[in-house]
Amino acid sequence: MSRMITYAEALNEALREEMRRDENVIVFGEDVAVIGGAYRVTKGLLEEFGSRRVLDTPISEAAIVGMAVGAALIGLRPVAEIMYLDFLTLGMDQLVTHAAKARFMSGGQVKLPLVVRTQYSLGRVHASQHSQFLAPWFLNVPGLKVVLPSTPYDAKGLLKSSIRDDDPVLFIESGVLYSTKGQVPADEYLVPLGRADVKKTGDDVTIVAVSRTVIEALKAAEKLMEEGINAEVIDPRTINPMDWDTILNSVRKTNRLVVVDDGHKTGSISAEIAAKVVEEAFDSLEGPIIRVNSPDIPVPSSQPLEKTFMVSAEKIVEAVLKII
Amino acid sequence: MSDVIVVGETSVDEYCDVGLTPREMVDMLKQMLEIRRFEERVERLFLVEGELIGPCHLYLGQEAIAVGVIKALTNEDIVVSTYRGHGHALARGVSMEMLMGELYGREIGTCKGLGGSMHSAMYVKKNILMATAIVGSGIPIAAGIALGLKYKNSDNIVTCFFGDGAATTGAFHEGINMAAVLKLPVLYVCENNQYAYSLPFSKSFAAGNVAEFASGYGLRSYFVYGNDVISVYRASREAVEEVRKHKSPVFIECRTYRQKGHGVYDRALYRPKEEVDEWLRNDPVMKFSRRLVELGVLTEEELKNIDEDVKEKVEKAVEIARKAKVLEFGELFKYLYSSR
């Protein structure tokens, strides 16, 4: 049996189920307890699990992430919320230089089963300081796992796996997707980290898209169908580990690749995927790889301008038509 | 310093009231000597033999703090150390071979040679869960460990060491405030050696002392003469009891002096000579050994023998570390993730 629930509700279920399952799972962050999170992802957790396991913290991102590192070192499975991905820059030292390094630099003495949940608000008219898609930065951080769900089903299954994972996980949600609905099984399930999902199969072109842009890629694929082009849409779901096999096999089949994500084009996730495909499957390519990204400027606040700035189904269609 | 508890130097007459047996006091001196001789040898390995390279921050002059604080803890209490951590590790009983092995980048090292001097104190089997090289960053991590201990209803506490340089970082203020509002069992120990690299404390910190600052966050706060191991121990014992009993953070500032440069290559010529001489006259190891002889707990002869034994132990650690092997490069990848 499955139900239609929202992306935010799916995340909430994941947290509840894991907290019921494992006493060591605790949740803390700004405004997560009494009001249930700025976007209500932690709604009702305080009521069910009490203030021992669900804690409101001061506005102290470095201390929130640092506290997650400490709690993980002593055997808890903390899930820390950072309200906006932009704010994570304030906790960057703890995530990048501590969480991602402690196991390695100690010669494997410790494990750090922590999750930092956050969201990016591109598409919600939040201006330059609340809309940044900083996910590609973390491609350059060995030791960190990075998860970017695009559907309620994936959001729930991936969050559950992230909480059970013994390594630090950065779990990046998409703010505009919180209210989107999808089928989610009533029975328990997990989505493993490191496995891409083929959201739509096709033979003519591979479109790899991440997080919110998966939805745009699927819309684009529909439009392309009208023109007789059958696109395959792949959602890596986690960018570290990246499921290279699924991406490379698809390109070997379709011989064409368009890569899409919400980051600025320079140094984007798309750039990394394009480079890898050129390295490993150059002979399969029958045309250039096209990246579809935000331009290399901060996001404008004005709604029509933000819309023009963002990746859209139209831009993806245009990219595909360039190489077919 | 209205709210701050000041603990000055302890006179020899008061030694008998501290509650330490003569044997315990001799053991404490031995630990201080171990740190002293280890660090002196390390300095020569860098500057004379040139066998060691990379960043290394000596604990010389601060021996009384590691030994005095750690003596007040149980073995189960957790320690968070720093890049100036050799002293913490030795006081906690980490073997010299492993510590020296880490400095040499060998597989026998505490961190298998992957951490080096700055992380060498991180040794989980002795409950040192972190040795961070980013100034101040251990402070919120200690809060997190304490959150875990409190959550598990443990009687153990966390002790977090850091320097005066850490007191000016955001992590200090976020971390201390967090520990205070969430009431977490941490003993914060600021080893104020009066220099943040080249910057004297008077030019780096707007308030006169760090203890008062912590007091402002509502922490019970001590200002201790850090070159007297007995004073450090007395204050720590009381502070540890407070933390354990009230499950809330307590703060200790130990005023001491960094006898050498920030790192081993730093000659620290920016310090006034009179200041250096004054603090060298108050050397913590010399001070404590003289007192114990004065007290009749130890003869000059016994002191000499202990010192010789310690030097021999250090030399043996060097020999072992020198000959030890380096981890295979291919092995590195398995230390990155617990699960993949």
Query: Which residues pair with residue A26 across a beta bridge?
Result: A78
Per-residue pLDDT for B1 more than 60? no
Residue B109, token pair as written in the block: 């090292």
Contact A70 B143 (CB under 8 A): yes
Q: Where are the domains of chain B?
A: 4-323
Contact B122 A106 (CB under 8 A): yes
Q: Taking the alpha carbons of A296, A301, A307, A311 in that order, is the dihedral positive or negative?
A: positive
- Domains parsed from chain A with CATH numbers: 2-185 (3.40.50.970), 197-323 (3.40.50.920)
Distance between A242 CA and the closest CA of chain B, angstroms:
11
Q: Which residues of B touch A60 (CB under 8 A)?
A: 140, 174-175, 177-178
Distance, in Å, from the CA atom of A233 to the CA atom of A236, rounded to the nearest integer, reads 10
Distance, in Å, from the CA atom of B180 to the CA atom of B175, rounded to the nearest integer, reads 8
Cα within 13 Å of Cα(A111), Cβ side: 13
Contact B340 A62 (CB under 8 A): no
- pLDDT digit string, tens, across residues B99-142: 999 999 999 999 999 999 999 999 999 999 999 999 999 999 99
pLDDT at B340: 65
B102-107 long-range contacts (CB < 8 A, ≥24 apart) are B103/B42, B103/B45, B103/B52, B103/B56, B103/B321, B104/B51, B104/B52, B104/B321, B104/B322, B104/B324, B105/B326, B106/B321, B106/B324, B106/B325, B106/B326, B107/B324, B107/B325, B107/B326, B107/B327
Query: Which residues pair with residue B80 across a beta bridge?
Result: B130, B160
Q: Does any CB of chain B come closer than 8 Å to the CB of residue A51?
A: no
Choice among A98, A126, A130, A264 that is catalytic:
A130
Give phi and psi for B7, each to the nearest 5. Answer: -120, 105
- Catalytic, A130? Answer yes
Find the distance separating the first CA and the last CA of chain B, reported in whole Å: 53
Residue from A9, A51, A47 nearest A27 by CA = A51
| DSSP category for residue A298 | P
A 142-201 residues with CB < 8 A to B: 142-143, 145, 165-167, 194
| DSSP category for residue A23 | T
B 141-200 residues with CB < 8 A to A: 141-149, 151-152, 158, 170-171, 174-175, 177-178, 181-182
Size of interface A-B (CB pairs under 8 A): 154
Distance, in Å, from the CA atom of A251 to the CA atom of A285, rounded to the nearest integer, reads 7
Each residue's pLDDT, cut to its tens digit, for chain A (324 residues) gives 899 999 999 999 999 999 999 999 999 999 999 999 999 999 999 999 999 999 999 999 999 999 999 999 999 999 999 999 999 999 999 999 999 999 999 999 999 999 999 999 999 999 999 999 999 999 999 999 999 999 999 999 999 999 999 999 999 999 999 999 999 999 999 999 999 999 999 999 999 999 999 999 999 999 999 999 999 999 999 999 999 999 999 999 999 999 999 999 999 999 999 999 999 999 999 999 999 999 999 999 999 999 999 999 999 999 999 999
Q: Does any CB of chain A come closer than 8 Å to the CB of residue B8?
A: no
The whole-chain average pLDDT of chain A stands at 98
- pLDDT digit string, tens, across residues B286-330: 999 999 999 999 999 999 999 999 999 999 999 999 999 999 999
Q: Which residues of A touch B338 (CB under 8 A)?
A: 103, 111, 113, 166-167
Pick the CATH number of B4-323 from 3.60.15.10, 3.40.640.10, 3.40.630.30, 3.40.50.970: 3.40.50.970
Q: Which residues of B touch A58 (CB under 8 A)?
A: 174, 177-178, 181
| DSSP category for residue B248 | S
Q: What pTM, to 2 d.p., does this model score?
A: 0.97
Q: Does any CB of chain A come closer than 8 Å to the CB of residue B282?
A: no
Distance between B54 CA and the closest CA of chain A, angstroms:
15
pLDDT at B16: 86
